[in-house]
A and B are shown apart, each in its own frame.
Chain A
Amino acid sequence: MSDKILLSAENISKSFNHIKALQKVTIKAFEGKITAVIGDNGSGKSTFIKILSGSLEPDEGIIKIGTNSYHRLSVAQAINAGIRTVYQDLSLDNFKNSVENIFLGDEITRCGFLDRKAMRVEAAALLEEIKVRIPDLSEPVRNLSGGQRQGLAIARALRRPAKLLLLDEPTAAMGIQESAKTMEMLGMLKRKGIAQLIVSHNMEQVFDIADHIYVMRSGEVLVDTAVSDTSPEELRELILRREDERIF
């Protein structure tokens, strides 16, 4: 792959007591492209995302973003480096409304006071831009649908210029219609040139929009391939063969 590397996580390992969640995982994300990390539950995908977003500290390995290298990324460092994360649980404050959630941790203030009017205008424009429809922005987010909540979490991630958008299971716990809308939104972001690293267990879904795929199993990268060089059937066969080799 001749694309420009945006982020490179090399030889990342992480253990929780005696459980090895990640073992020397090397994954790269490319400018303007969608990289997908797929695997079953417990394969280490979410642990990997948490390390890249600064929520978890790796035991080993190095993360390179542009010219900077990090042995351990803090949340603030990740944000400053342009990494925005949409977590599987969406990390929304259910008591707060859409505007407050979009600006959580990065509120607009005037003389030390929250500038709610400015935040409301900016939030409405942002949601309009990424085509997320929320009729009442003052409604607490716990009353919103799954798709609206997902859109809100993505809007928050994109509020400041993002180099790379990390998405942990963006369609988990969503209906067919909402999943399709979310995937459509991610496709639109790709066309806008926003690089994405999507973690999912749904191979068919990511095949439609991803450029590069990593397959993980038991904390290791099994397959590293461009989407154009493979097919879902081939990957499935490869995974099953590896699984057979592991068992027998």
Chain B
Amino acid sequence: MKGYFDISAKRLKYMGDKMEKILGYIKKEFSSPVLLICFCLMISVFLSISTESFYSLKNVVNILEANSYRMILAVGMMCIITSGAIDLSVGSILSFSAICTAISLKAELPIALCILLGLLSGTVMGVINGVLVYATRINPLIITLATSYMYRGLSLMVTEGIPVTKLPESFREIGCGDIFGMESGVTAAFVIIIAMIPVFFFMKWGSYIASLGGNPEALKRCGVKTWKYRISVFALMGFLASVSGIIVSARLNSAEANAGLNMEMDAICAVIMGGTALHGGKGSLFGTVIAVFLMGLIRNGLTIMSVSSYYQQFITGAMLLCAVVIAELRERRARIG
């Protein structure tokens, strides 16, 4: 009997240790996503009780559809911030690539080619950002602020400020098309997130991107050609911004120079809230995705509760401020630890 209890005690201790390890891992790696999920649940419960129209599958689908392009942008921005940089030109790239696609469509080129041109224009703009950041060694904030004005200016020059509208029906179907009862933008976001998991977590690219933010000099001294990764992360951001641009223009049936204004701020807000290190070195893909959903949830709730859009902007700003302060405190505590 004594022996039996001995084994049980040993097993209990083993299980306790294992559990402690698992909880420690979750706390270390997933503290932000878990916290955000709790927030989502709390807000959902509150909105379900206080409003009639929130608690429905249709509304959840609506939130996903309205935020699919934000999700795509945030995934790209998460990679950028993890690499220790920032990109303020994503809204402008989104707008320009949408215009490129729309103008090509107006010229009656095949849809596939038009989309390809849109994607190419966004990727090229991303590459330009990356090359400028790497070659000049100037703070990416300044470089991309400048290029954001340039790209926006290009959009205005091309369209003369007039929206490109009345796009072909077949193109609109891309934005409003129905896959599993949801717009194709949601599917695109889902595919991009799934594709990013192996690239970001299990491949050299993701590891080097994080090291670019953690200690770029160390990476260089290990013989890694850092320029390749610096440029590629901006190229990816440009590509994803153009995907978002195409989704937005297909959804709205128009492309205009002022599309995507301040979208970079939404993306940055989601990334920081999601738990990505403010100065790079560590990224949180799942946290980012949940943060975008949380922001969408709040926006949706405020709309249902008929709160003015001015307040919504203020709340987004306040959330960004809180997220940045919390992230900075968390990083300081980690540094001291």
Residues of A within 8 A of B (CB): 53, 55, 75-76, 79, 85, 87, 89, 91-96, 100, 104-107, 109, 112-114, 142-143, 156
Q: Does B202 contact A (CB under 8 A)?
A: yes
Asked if B203 and A104 make an inter-chain contact with CB atoms under 8 angstroms apart, the answer reads no
Given A93-B214, A95-B210, A142-B335, residue A114 in contact with residue B202 (CB < 8 A) = yes
Residue of A nearest to B211 (CB): A93
Asked if B218 and A91 make an inter-chain contact with CB atoms under 8 angstroms apart, the answer reads yes
Chain B residues in 8 Å Cβ range of A100: 207
Q: In the bound complex, what is the Cα–Cα distance between A100 and B213 (angstroms)?
A: 15
Residue of A nearest to B198 (CB): A113
Q: Which of A76, A87, A96, A156 makes the CB contact (< 8 A) with B210? A: A96
Asked if B219 and A105 make an inter-chain contact with CB atoms under 8 angstroms apart, the answer reads yes
Q: Which of B204, B215, B223, B334 makes the CB contact (< 8 A) with A93? A: B215
Residue of B nearest to A78 (CB): B223
Q: How large is the interface on B (under 10, 10 to 19, 20 to 34, 35 or more residues)?
A: 20 to 34
Chain A residues in 8 Å Cβ range of B203: 109, 112-114
Q: Is the interface of B mostly helix, strand, loop or mixed?
A: helix
Distance from A225 Cβ to chain B, minimum over Cβ atoms (Å):
31
Chain B residues in 8 Å Cβ range of A93: 210-211, 214-215, 218-219, 281
Q: Which of B211, B213, B335 makes the CB contact (< 8 A) with A104? A: B211
Asked if B223 and A105 make an inter-chain contact with CB atoms under 8 angstroms apart, the answer reads yes
Q: In the bound complex, what is the Cα–Cα distance between A95 and B198 (angstroms)?
A: 19
Chain A residues in 8 Å Cβ range of B282: 95
Q: Which of A91, A96, A109, A143 makes the CB contact (< 8 A) with B221? A: A91
Residue of A nearest to B202 (CB): A113
Asked if B207 and A53 make an inter-chain contact with CB atoms under 8 angstroms apart, the answer reads no
Within 8 A of A (CB), among B183-231: 198, 202-204, 207, 210-211, 213-215, 217-224
Distance from A235 Cβ to chain B, minimum over Cβ atoms (Å):
31
Q: Which of A53, A75, A94, A106 makes the CB contact (< 8 A) with B215? A: A94
Distance from B206 Cβ to chain A, minimum over Cβ atoms (Å):
9
Q: In the bound complex, what is the Cα–Cα distance between A87 and B221 (angstroms)?
A: 9
Distance from B283 Cβ to chain A, minimum over Cβ atoms (Å):
10
Residues of B within 8 A of A (CB): 198, 202-204, 207, 210-211, 213-215, 217-224, 277, 281-282, 334-335, 337
Q: Which of B198, B218, B337 makes the CB contact (< 8 A) with A92? A: B218
Asked if A91 and B215 make an inter-chain contact with CB atoms under 8 angstroms apart, the answer reads yes
Chain B residues in 8 Å Cβ range of A91: 215, 217-218, 221-222
Asked if A94 and B223 make an inter-chain contact with CB atoms under 8 angstroms apart, the answer reads no
Can you identify 13 A-B contacts, CB atoms within 8 angstroms?
A53-B221, A89-B217, A91-B218, A91-B221, A92-B218, A93-B218, A93-B281, A96-B211, A105-B219, A105-B223, A105-B224, A113-B202, A114-B207
Chain A residues in 8 Å Cβ range of B214: 93-96
Q: Which of A75, A89, A114 makes the CB contact (< 8 A) with B223? A: A75
Asked if B281 and A94 make an inter-chain contact with CB atoms under 8 angstroms apart, the answer reads yes
Chain A residues in 8 Å Cβ range of B215: 91-94
Q: Which of B207, B210, B220 makes the CB contact (< 8 A) with A75? A: B220
Q: In the bound complex, what is the Cα–Cα distance between A76 and B337 (angstroms)?
A: 35
Distance from B20 Cβ to chain A, minimum over Cβ atoms (Å):
13
Chain A residues in 8 Å Cβ range of B335: 142
Chain B residues in 8 Å Cβ range of A156: 222
Distance from A140 Cβ to chain B, minimum over Cβ atoms (Å):
8
Told that A55-B221, A93-B215 touch, could you supply 9 new A-B pairs with CB distance under 8 A?
Answer: A85-B221, A91-B218, A93-B219, A95-B282, A96-B211, A104-B218, A106-B223, A112-B203, A142-B334
